[in-house]
């Protein structure tokens, strides 16, 4: 399983993602532009080890950028690291989760482009720029083209849910791409249309973006390898799967509210009252 | 196997017969675990042959003991049932039951040749079959002929907007009920109408364009007779890898998954053949059958026993029509809408998240962080 995944990673592109590996390098202090074009939003919970590298790469994405770290529930000195390196910092004692963290980050962001990444995954700046570039050139929601593993007959429930939501939103071309996965970028317009609150339930945000005619595209593929946001093995996976499945159902519920019981698909003229 | 059975003489020396009877009963008393189809029978092939020989004899005895005029499919069915009840213990696989029934029929028809290849089944309840047809004059006669081989107490043919000779293609027979709707009812509505008219304990659904053999349909009937509420066609063997699946298969998988039955994969009431129990009909209502995924969702939500016990390849035989081929075709869109309707219906009963955990994001973060 693991070996296969590695093979896939190489095939898709030669991105090296280091997870939780401390790389000793002198990291320069970040420069947050006073009138940023790009806001890079990074929720972090006990990510001291990878945060310096994540911030370094974030700092190289765009000359006019601000970097916002939402340090939540951390006990390992994550906030101090972020502060020392010059990121804008929001601290929460209680854990928030990625989605709430992103919403809080977005609420203070000043840029007209919002790029969302995670603190536990070092993605080179070169791999992050395509998302920003896409929004610059008119995309409202620039998604990671990674759809998760689909080679087997039976796919992971989260992968199934993502594919189905996109298909039911009449966007099968988006395959299994999702705002639950990073990296992704939003235009300011997208944020205004979707609303901050929706960011807490990424599939709902995505459904709204598609339904309201925003330009949603999978723009670049970073093989984040494992299912996003499922990171940890063992029994926790069930809880996360359950949560993400529930999030997709909330998105579908919204779709039903918005487009009717059949989600806008007709039934080819069934004479339903013929059945008693 | 078949030719061997044909050669087997119905009459044997009495002693041998008793010996075989005893042996058989010993075999049958071995307890069988419920979910090990393959291991159910510890006896070898020859033992199965012994049982079949017995069935032939029993069939022969059943028909030879009565007057010629009394020999009928109904009598054959009744004789098989009582013979099976008295002589057979333990659960047999579908194919074994079918083989046994075929053997019994062979024995019975030695004297009652006019009954042909009728296939009696050891059922507890009565069975109805509902066939929907839209301009299937070519296939209907063979479909009905196969259904007539099974012990249905009624065969309900719903003719949906037929403009060809479909009506005439269905033979007139006391057990055949024709429901003719000259105006097109729309997809799956005919099935619901047929279900409303059906009176059996078991309802089998199939299509007028699907020439399936009686032997292939029997497992669904037996499965419901044994206690399943919804017996689906198990199409999992034909399912390609996820990346190559169409949207419809994915929607089906998703619906099952949302209702806690990932094991059903993409199996769905959208596909035929499938069979329902009377209890299923009473629980979900015939009107829900208009939208098959909705009926399935209701069955799952209400805790009915939904299984996919047997595979019949309907994909290979499926007629290609305009509208049911290619990605995003009209039928695919219809089925997608059906699944959305199904999910909505489930949400009305079980809540928006269908019972999936609503862990607070903060707790989730802790879990994620390994705290």
What CATH number belongs to B127-350?
3.90.550.10
Angle at A80 between CA A78 and CA A84, to 5 degrees: 120
Q: Give the sheet arrangement for strand A141-144, strand by strand.
A: A88-92, A65-72, A38-44, A113-116, A184-187, A141-144, A216-220
CA distance A250 to B148: 48
Do A158 and A234 share a domain, yes or no?
Answer: yes
pLDDT digits (tens, 9 = 90+) for B133-147: 999 999 999 999 999
CB of A78 less than 8 A from some CB of B: no
Residue B359 confidence (pLDDT): 62
Give the C-alpha distances (Å, rounded to integers) separating B9 from A184, B17, B38.
76, 12, 30
Percent of chain B with pLDDT over 70: 80
Domain boundaries, chain B: 2-115, 127-350
Chain B residue at shortest CA distance from A154: B242
Q: Calculate how close chain A gets to B293, using CA atoms only, in Å.
A: 12
Q: Comparing A85 with A2, which gets the higher pLDDT?
A: A85
Q: Does A114 share its domain with A153?
A: no
Q: Residues A79-89: what's their mean pLDDT?
A: 95
Is residue A181 predicted with pLDDT exceeding 80? Answer: yes
Identify the residue with better confidence: B10 or B205. Answer: B205
Nearest Cβ partner for B185 among A243, A264, A274: A274
Same domain, A31 and A78: yes
Other Cβ atoms less than 10 A from the Cβ of B72: the count is: 15
User: Rounded distance, CA A192 to CA B203, Å?
Assistant: 54
Query: Does B368 sit within 8 Å of A160, measured CB to CB?
Result: no
- How do residues B170-187 score in pLDDT, each as one tens digit? 989 999 999 999 999 999
B residues 177..206 contacting A (CB < 8 A):
181, 183-189, 192-193, 196
On whether any CB of chain B is under 8 Å from the CB of A151, the answer is yes
- Using only C-alpha atoms, chain B has a radius of gyration, in whole angstroms, of 23
CATH number assigned to the domain comprising residue A99:
3.90.550.10
Q: Would A92 be classed as within a structural domain?
A: yes
Say if residues A253 and B352 touch (Cβ distance below 8 Å): yes
Same domain flag for A166 and A110 = no
β-pairing, B230-233 vs B154-160, is unpaired
pLDDT digits over B65-89, tens only? 888 889 999 999 999 999 999 888 7
The answer to whether the CB atoms of A151 and B334 lie below 8 A apart is no
In whole angstroms, how far apart are CA A252 and each of A159, A168, A206, A262, B156?
15, 9, 11, 11, 38
Structural domain including A58 reads: 17-122
What's the pLDDT at B3?
A: 43
Q: Which residue of chain B comes nearest to A249, CA vs CA?
A: B353
Spatial separation of the C-alpha atoms in residues B312 and B315, rounded to whole Å: 9
% of residues, chain B, pLDDT over 90:
70
In a domain, A133, yes or no: no
Is there a single domain that holds both residue A113 and residue A154?
no
Are A87 and A176 in the same domain?
Answer: no
The complex's ipTM? Answer: 0.87
Tokens linked to A89: 């910092």
Mutate to test the interface with B, among A93, A94, A154 (most CBs of B within 10 A): A154
pLDDT at residue A168 in the model: 96
Q: How many domains are contained in chain A?
A: 2
* DSSP for residue A199: G
Cβ atoms A256, B344 nearer than 8 A: yes
> pLDDT tens for residues B95-111?
999 999 999 999 999 98
What CA–CA distance (Å, rounded) separates B152 from B120?
A: 9
Amino acid B362: pLDDT = 67
The pLDDT, as a whole number, for residue A230 is 47
A positions 215-244 inside 8 Å of B (CB): 229, 231-232, 236, 239-240, 242-243
Chain B CA closest to residue A248 = B353
Instruction: Answer yes or no: do A42 and A112 share one domain.
Output: yes
Selected residue with higher pLDDT from B308 and B36: B308
The mean predicted confidence, pLDDT, of chain A is 88
User: Do A118 and A155 belong together in one domain?
Assistant: no
In this prediction, residue B355 carries a pLDDT of 83
A267 contacts in chain B (CB < 8 Å): 186-187, 291, 334, 337-338
Q: Are residues A94 and A52 in the same domain?
A: yes
pLDDT the model gives residue A22: 53
Distance CA B103, CA B86 (A): 17
Model confidence at A238, in pLDDT bands (50, 70, 90)?
confident
Token duo for residue B142: 């063979």
CA A273/CA B148 separation, integer angstroms: 31
End-to-end CA distance of chain A: give it in Å, rounded.
Answer: 52
* Highest-pLDDT range among A74-83, A229-238, B349-358: A74-83
What is residue B359's three-state secondary structure? coil
> So what's the pLDDT on residue A26?
58
Give tens-digit pLDDT for A39-82.
Answer: 999 999 999 999 999 999 999 999 999 999 999 999 999 999 99
Minimum Cα–Cα distance from B330: chain A residue: A268
Most confident of B50-54, B273-277, B314-318: B273-277
Same-domain check for residues A150 and A257: yes
pLDDT computed for residue B65 by the predictor: 86
Does residue B344 carry a pLDDT above 80? yes
Between B189, B239, B340, which is nearest A271 by CB? B189
- Considering the domain architecture, whether residues A107 and A154 belong to the same structural domain is answered as no
- Selected residues 115-144 of chain B with any CB under 8 Å from a CB in chain A: none
Q: What is the mean pLDDT of residues A1-24?
A: 48
Specify the pLDDT at position B4. Answer: 43
Q: Does B333 contact A at CB distance below 8 Å? A: yes
Asked if A21 and A73 sit in the same domain, the reply is yes
Mapping DSSP to helix (H, G, I), strand (E, B) and coil, where does residue A36 land?
A: coil
Of the pLDDT bands very low, low, confident and very high (cuts 50, 70, 90), residue B325 is low
Average pLDDT, chain B: 86
Rounded to whole angstroms, the maximal C-alpha distance in chain B is 81
C-alpha–C-alpha distance, residues B111 and B100, integer Å: 18
């Amino acid at each position: 399983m693991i070996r296969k995944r590695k093979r896939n990673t190489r095939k898709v592109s030669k991105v090296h993602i280091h997870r939780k590996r401390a790389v000793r390098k002198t990291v320069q202090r970040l420069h947050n532009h006073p009138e940023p074009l790009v806001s890079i939003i990074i929720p972090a919970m006990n990510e001291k080890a990878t945060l310096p590298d994540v911030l370094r790469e974030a700092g190289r994405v765009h000359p006019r950028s601000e970097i916002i770290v939402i340090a939540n529930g951390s006990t390992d000195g994550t906030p101090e690291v972020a502060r020392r390196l010059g990121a804008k910092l929001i601290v929460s004692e209680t854990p928030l989760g990625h989605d709430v963290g992103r919403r809080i980050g977005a609420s203070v962001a000043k840029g007209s482009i919002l790029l969302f990444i995670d603190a536990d995954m070092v993605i080179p700046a070169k791999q992050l720029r395509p998302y920003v570039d896409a929004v610059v050139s008119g995309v409202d929601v620039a998604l990671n083209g990674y759809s998760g593993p689909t080679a087997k007959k039976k796919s992971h429930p989260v992968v199934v849910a993502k594919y189905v939501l996109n298909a039911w939103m009449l966007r099968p071309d988006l395959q299994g791409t999702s705002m639950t996965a990073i990296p992704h970028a939003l235009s300011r317009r997208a944020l205004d249309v979707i609303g901050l609150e929706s960011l807490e339930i990424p599939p709902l945000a995505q459904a709204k973006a598609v339904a309201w005619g925003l330009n949603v595209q999978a723009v670049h593929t970073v093989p984040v390898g494992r299912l996003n946001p499922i990171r940890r093995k063992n029994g926790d996976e069930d809880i996360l799967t359950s949560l993400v499945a529930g999030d997709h159902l909330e998105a579908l519920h919204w779709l039903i509210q918005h487009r009717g019981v059949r989600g806008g698909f007709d039934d080819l003229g069934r004479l339903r009252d013929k059945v008693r | 196997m078949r030719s061997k059975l044909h050669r087997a003489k119905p009459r044997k020396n009495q002693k041998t017969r008793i010996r075989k009877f005893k042996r058989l009963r010993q075999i049958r008393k071995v307890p069988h675990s419920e979910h090990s189809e393959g291991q159910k029978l510890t006896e070898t092939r020859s033992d199965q042959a012994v049982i079949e020989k017995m069935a032939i004899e029993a069939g022969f005895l059943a028909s030879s003991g009565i007057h010629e005029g009394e020999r009928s499919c109904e009598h054959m069915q009744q004789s098989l049932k009582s013979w099976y009840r008295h002589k057979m213990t333990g659960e047999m696989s579908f194919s074994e039951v079918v083989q046994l029934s075929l053997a019994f029929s062979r024995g019975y028809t030695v004297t009652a040749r006019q009954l042909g290849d009728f296939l009696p089944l050891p059922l507890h309840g009565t069975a109805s079959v509902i066939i929907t047809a839209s301009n299937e004059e070519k296939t209907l006669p063979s479909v009905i002929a196969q259904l007539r081989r099974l012990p249905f107490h009624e065969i309900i043919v719903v003719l949906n907007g037929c403009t060809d000779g479909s009506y005439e293609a269905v033979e007139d027979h006391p057990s055949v009920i024709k429901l003719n709707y000259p105006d097109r009812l729309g997809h799956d509505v005919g099935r619901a109408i047929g279900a409303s008219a059906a009176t059996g304990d078991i309802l089998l659904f199939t299509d007028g364009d699907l020439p399936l053999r009686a032997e292939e349909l029997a497992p669904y009937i037996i499965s419901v007779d044994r206690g399943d509420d919804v017996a689906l066609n198990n199409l999992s063997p034909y399912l390609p890898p996820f990346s190559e699946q169409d949207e419809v298969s994915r929607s089906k998988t998703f619906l099952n998954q949302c209702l806690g039955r990932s094991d059903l994969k993409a199996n769905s009431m959208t596909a035929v053949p499938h069979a329902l129990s009377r209890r299923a009909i009473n629980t979900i209502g015939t009107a829900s059958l208009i939208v098959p995924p909705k009926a399935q969702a209701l069955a799952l939500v209400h805790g009915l026993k939904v299984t996919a016990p047997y595979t019949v390849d309907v994909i290979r035989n499926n007629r290609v029509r305009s509208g049911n081929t290619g990605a995003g075709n009209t039928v695919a869109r219809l089925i997608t809408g059906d699944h959305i309707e199904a999910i909505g219906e489930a949400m009305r009963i079980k809540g928006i998240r269908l019972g999936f955990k609503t862990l607070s994001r903060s707790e989730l973060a802790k879990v994620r962080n390994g705290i």
